[in-house]
Chains A and B, each alone.
Chain A
Amino acid sequence: MTDQTDQPSNKLLQDILLELKKINTQLETIQLELQHETDRIEEQFPKLDIHSTPPSSLNILNIQEQRPGIFKTYKTIQKKDNWISATDVSQETGRSRGLESRYLNYLAENGFITKKRVRLSDEEKATAVVYKYIEVNE
């Protein structure tokens, strides 16, 4: 008896779930688009500032004083030719990914390095954050 009364509500619930899933997919797409847009803007604007005044060695000594150990993270990025992730940095430094991630974001926020979000593959939605030294325009 319960089965019979549950049938329509079950169907309804399934429909709702399906709709919710669709909404979720759409939200994920929007979120991704937004993230890409934010990254694009972030990349453009601090860059203008950064390009006119890249950090000097004194700035680097100061930041090391504020965050002891951050110099190692900074140097790892400066010596790599390509974009790398916090995991790559942590493999180089032998320190935890969490710590490197915090340091990398702090460096990026303060104009010491650049940061961007990349799609891991064309089909998948998964993204990763990668970092690189600041290009100096002549």
Chain B
Amino acid sequence: MENKTIYTEIITDHNVDPYHKHELEGANLILEGVNPSCGDDITLSLKVEDDVVVDGAYQGVGCAISQASADIMLDLVIGKTKEQALRLSELFLNMIRSEITDDELEELEEAGLLKDIAHNPSRTKCAVLGWRTLREMFGVEFEYEEE
């Protein structure tokens, strides 16, 4: 049987050799995000100056999806303004809900590789963990889907 895998090389690279998994000196925003039911736990650190994310990092434990997704997110948002980062995170959440256009998907770059996770409800919260933590750091409450 073919493994309809989300574990593409890019995803596993971000998990095995993350670029942004370390402590961040000079961070001025720090928030922990957890998925209590599966034990994914990341602490996101950002250095934000004049509403620009000048640097970011994360630390934590969890499944490959949660870790890679956070790493990819940081690739994308470092250097962006707070508004741009929030917009990207909204696109990501829309993607997970399968409500995204092809153009919008392009904007997400590597994060778009996690699109198919939408078909596996038990894994979407892993993919979303970093992104919702980022939103919460910028003061946007994460609305959990009504079950």
A binds B: no
The interface of chain B, by Cβ under 8 A from chain A, is: none
